[in-house]
Structure 1
Amino acid sequence: MASDRSIPSLVPETSHSSATGSDPRSHDYSPDCPFCMIAGTYHPISPLEASPRAGAEPAEPAEPAEPAEPDAAPALALAPGKLDPPSFVLFSSEHVIAFLDIMPLTRGHVLVAPRKHRVKVGDLSPDEMGEIGRVLPLLARSVVRTVMPDIPHNQADYNIVQNNGPGAAQVVPHVHFHVVPRPPLNYVPPDPSASASPSASVSAQQGPRRYPPNPQPKGPKRTAILYGRGPREDLDYEDAAVLVERMRQCVRQEWETTFGFGQTADLTTGRAGHRGDKRGAWKV
C-alpha cells in the first residue's frame, strides 16, 4: 500500500433503504454504509490462516500463485489500521464478517453481519442466512471464551440481538447480530500471562464456580438487557487489538474442533475440504 494513500473513513449511513429497485439484493454494496466499507476492505480469509498455530507450516497453494497484493500476508489481512476509525475483524468469510462494535455495551461486544448490503433479515439469500446460522454459534462460543475464559460456555451469559428497521431500534441499516457478553457482577478476567492460550479455559469446567450466577434482571434493567440497550463507551483500541487476536485464536480452535485441523469447510453442503483452496474463494 502506498504511503501517500489516504485511509478510508467510515461514514454512518442515514438511509434505511437498501436499493432503489424492488429487490433489495439488486444492490450488494452501499457506499455510505460503514459495514459495507468494512466488508469491502477485509476480504475473506480462512480462520486457520487469520490466526495460525505457532510453528504451523503454511499451506501449499493448489494453483499457481497470483501476484501478491501489498496486504496479502495473513498477518496484514485483518490489520485494524486499514480504516479510520480502526476496524477489529475477527472473522471474514465468503458471506459473513464479524468485528468489534465501535461503541460496545460490554467488553467483547461483537457484530456479525452479511458481507453484502442487506437491510433486513428478510433480504438475506438462503446462502447468506445459512452461513450466518452455521457460524453464529461458533463465533458466540469464541467471544465468550475470550471475554470469560475461566467460565464454561454452559455457565456463561450473553445476548444475541438483531433488529430490523428504525422502529425496531436498528441504527445501521445493514443486517447485523449483536453478540453481547454478560459477565458476572464484579467479574475480573484472569491474568492472560497465567495461561498459554485461550484453550486453558477448558480447565474451568473441572473446578468450582468462582462467581455466582447472574440474577434475573427486573424492570427497566431487564428490558435494557433484553433488547441490547444501555450505556455505551468508545472502544479502547489498545485493548481491542489484544482482544480481537485472542478471539481469532478461539475461532481457529473452535473451527479445528468442529472441522478438524488443516481443513476448511463448505457449511452450505456440510462437506469438509483440505486447505490450499484458491485464496479468497473458500467457503464456510
Structure 2
Amino acid sequence: MSDLPRLVHETSPASSSPSDRAFSPSCPFCAITGTYPSVSPISAPDDAASKLDPEKLDPPSFVLYSSEHVVAFLDIMPLTRGHVLVAPRKHRVKVGDLSPDEGAEIGRVLPVLARSVLKAVLPDIPHEDADYNVVQNNGPGAAQVVPHVHFHIVPRPPLNYKYPTNNTPASSKKKYPRNPQPSGRQATAILFGRGMREDLDYDDASILVDAMRAALKEEWQASLPTPSGTGDTIAKEPLDRDTELSGNGGGSGRRGAWKV
C-alpha cells in the first residue's frame, strides 16, 4: 500500500460538518487543497513543477493554479480533454458559503483560467472562436457530486479536432468550422456539463498541465504586470483587460507577498 495521502472517491456521501469548516477529512478536494501550497503563476517552471508535483497524492493530482484562496486542477474523470475544476482552498459546500475574499478571487481568476485552459487545449483556435462551458452546481438536487464548491471549465473542441504538433507548419493547420448549436437532449447534456466520462490519462495530463501553466503565466503577465525589481513572487491585483497597461501597472504601487 502506498504511504501517500489518498483521495476519497468522488461518490463519497456528503460530510455532516458545518459548511464553513476549513477542512473536511472526507472531502477529496480538501485532500488536494491541503496538499499543495500557494505558488505564484509566474514562478519558474521547475519551481512550480516541484511544489505542484502530482505524485504527492494517490491517485496523482494535476494542479495548474494554487493560491491563498483558490486551487485549479484537472478533473480525474474528464468530460473532454482539458476539463478543469476551480475550487476554494477551504471547505465550502455551496457558493453562498464563500467568504468575500474567496468569492472575489474566484471572480478575478476564473476568466484568466478559462483563457489559459483554452489556449493550452485548443492552441490554434482563438478564444473568440472557442466553445466551452463554465458550470457550477449547488447541492445534490442540482447535480453537485462532491460537496465542496467547484466550477467546471469544459472545453468543447470542434468535431474531429486534431491537436497541432510542434512539427505542424502554420500553413497546413486545419481551419475548423464552428460547432453547430446543439438541440434536444444533447443541448441539455452540454448545458449541465453531462456526458460520457473517461479516466484521466496521466501521461497526457502531465504534458497538458505544463502547457496550461505556461499559458497561465502568459495570461497573468499580460494582465498582472510585476513591478520591476520585485522578482516573480510579487504581483498586483488583476487589471481590466480593456485597461491600457501603463509603465507602473496602472495600480496603486502597493508591494507585498504574492497573492491574488
Aligned residues: 242
> For the Cα contact (< 8 Å) 1:16–1:165, is it kept in 2?
no
Q: Is residue 2:259 matched to residue 1:283?
A: yes
Shift in alpha-carbon separation, 1:18–1:192, aligned structure 2, 3 A = farther
- The equivalent residue for 1:143 is 117
Match of 1:42 among 15, 36, 45: 36
**Structure 2 letter corresponding to 1:264:** A
User: Which residue of 2 is the match for residue 131 of structure 1?
Assistant: 105
Aligned to 2:247: none
1:11 and 2:8 equivalent? yes
**Where do residues 164-243 of structure 1 align in structure 2 (5 Å cutoff)?**
164-194=138-168, 210-243=175-208
1:252 pairs, out of 217, 221, 242, with: 217
- Residue identity matched to 1:220: R
CA distance in 2, matches of 1:140, 1:273: 27
Give 1:19 deviation, angstroms.
Answer: 2.6
- Structure-2 change in CA distance of 1:5 and 1:223 (3 Å): closer
Greater relative contact order, per chain length (Cα 8 Å cut-off, separation 6+):
1
What CA deviation, in whole Å up to 9, does each residue of 1:162-208 have, x standing for no partner? 0000010000000000000000001111113559xxxxxxx89xx99
Q: What CA distance in whole angstroms lies between the structure 1 residues aligned with 2:175 and 2:139?
A: 40
Query: Equivalents in 1 of 2:102, 2:259: separation in Å?
Result: 11
Change over 3 Å in CA distance of 1:77–1:212 after alignment to 2 = same
Q: Gapped runs of 5+ residues in structure 2?
A: 227-231, 240-250
In the superposition, the TM-score normalised over structure 2's length comes to 0.86
1:223 and 1:5 mapped to 2: Cα distance? 41
* RMSD over equivalenced CA pairs, Å: 2.5
Retained in 2: the 8 A contact 1:12–1:32? no
Distance (whole Å) between structure 2 residues aligned to residue 80 and residue 182 of structure 1 = 25
- Find the counterpart in structure 2 of residue 61 from structure 1: none
How far the C-alpha of 1:259 sits from its partner, in A, is 1.1
Q: TM-score, normalised by structure 1?
A: 0.79
- State the alpha-carbon separation in 1 of the partners of residues 200 and 44 from structure 2: 22
Q: Secondary structure at the match of 1:48?
A: coil
Pair 1:163–1:43, CA change in 2 (3 A): same
Q: What is the alpha-carbon distance in structure 1 between the residues aligned to residue 168 and residue 45 of structure 2? A: 21
Question: CA deviation digits over 1:245-264, x for unaligned, max 9?
Answer: 00000000000000125451
Q: What is the CA-CA distance between 1:76 and the residue it aligns to?
A: 1.1
Relative to structure 1, the CA distance from residue 273 to residue 251 in structure 2 (aligned partners, 3 Å threshold; closer, same or farther) is: farther
Could you tell me whether the CA contact under 8 Å between 2:82 and 2:154 is conserved in 1? yes
Aligned residues: percent identity?
61
Structure 1 alignment gaps of length 5 or more: 53-72, 196-202
Shift, 1:49, TM fit: 1.2
